[in-house]
A and B are shown apart, each in its own frame.
Chain A
Amino acid sequence: GDSVTQMEGPVTLSEEAFLTINCTYTATGYPSLFWYVQYPGEGLQLLLKATKADDKGSNKGFEATYRKETTSFHLEKGSVQVSDSAVYFCALSDLTGANSKLTFGKGITLSVRP
């Protein structure tokens, strides 16, 4: 079945540091890929998405490129802020069969210190 693997956490960075969070996936079809963010006490917010190979999703300074050859969707940000502290989830959705089910990675906690 479909699966998503994220790098182990947590991650602690200083403000303005460069961020990379690794994500790889396994899917039988041609999935869409997502990054969701969860702030303390809240639900998930869609951060960015990519629907086909070589697409780059971007939002709020975050970027991720859909790499079919390496089955990866790594999240990057050039300069993190304290306000980026949250839990980040990589996810995929395989629309084969026309369902909206999302398969998530375990999530990684990012802490950014001033």
Chain B
Amino acid sequence: KAGVTQTPRYLIKTRGQQVTLSCSPISGHRSVSWYQQTPGQGLQFLFEYFSETQRNKGNFPGRFSGRQFSNSRSEMNVSTLELGDSALYLCASSLFQGINEQFFGPGTRLTVL
């Protein structure tokens, strides 16, 4: 069974641009969560999607948004990029919402110049 896949793996953008990251969960998994990992703040929860609806949201500005498609694939978007958005963005999937065993993808490394 294929694991969680994230594309692209690496991305370089400049301040003010926007970016879209993609996540394909494990086949059959319907819940997708996103996390931001930085050296300073560690791992922080961004949001969780289940059945194409955002179910839970972390403490991030509105520049961070996401969506989930009917096949459970998810995208997250960051608009008006700032230097502080440079991070590893991790996606995790689980069978259903409220199931606590989550499986992580390799992440997308975003660098903002």
Binding site for B on A (CB under 8 A): 32, 34, 36, 41-46, 49, 51, 89, 91, 93, 95, 97-107
Contacts and interface: CB of A to CB of B under 8 A. Distances in A.
B66 interface: no
B55 to A, nearest CB: 6
Given A100-B98, A100-B99, A44 B45 contact: no
Contacts of A98: 97-98
Interface stretch (B14-22, B69-77, B79-87, B101-109): B101-109
A107 B100 CA distance: 19
B102 to A, nearest CB: 6
A30 to B, nearest CB: 12
Given A43-B90, A100-B98, A105-B42, 10 more contacts: A42-B106, A42-B107, A89-B43, A98-B97, A99-B98, A100-B94, A100-B97, A102-B33, A102-B102, A107-B43
A7 to B, nearest CB: 14
B100 A44 contact: no
Contacts of B102: 46, 100, 102
Contacts of A95: 98, 100
A46 B93 CA distance: 12
B56 interface: yes
Nearest to B50: A100
Contact of B100 (A32, A36, A43): A32
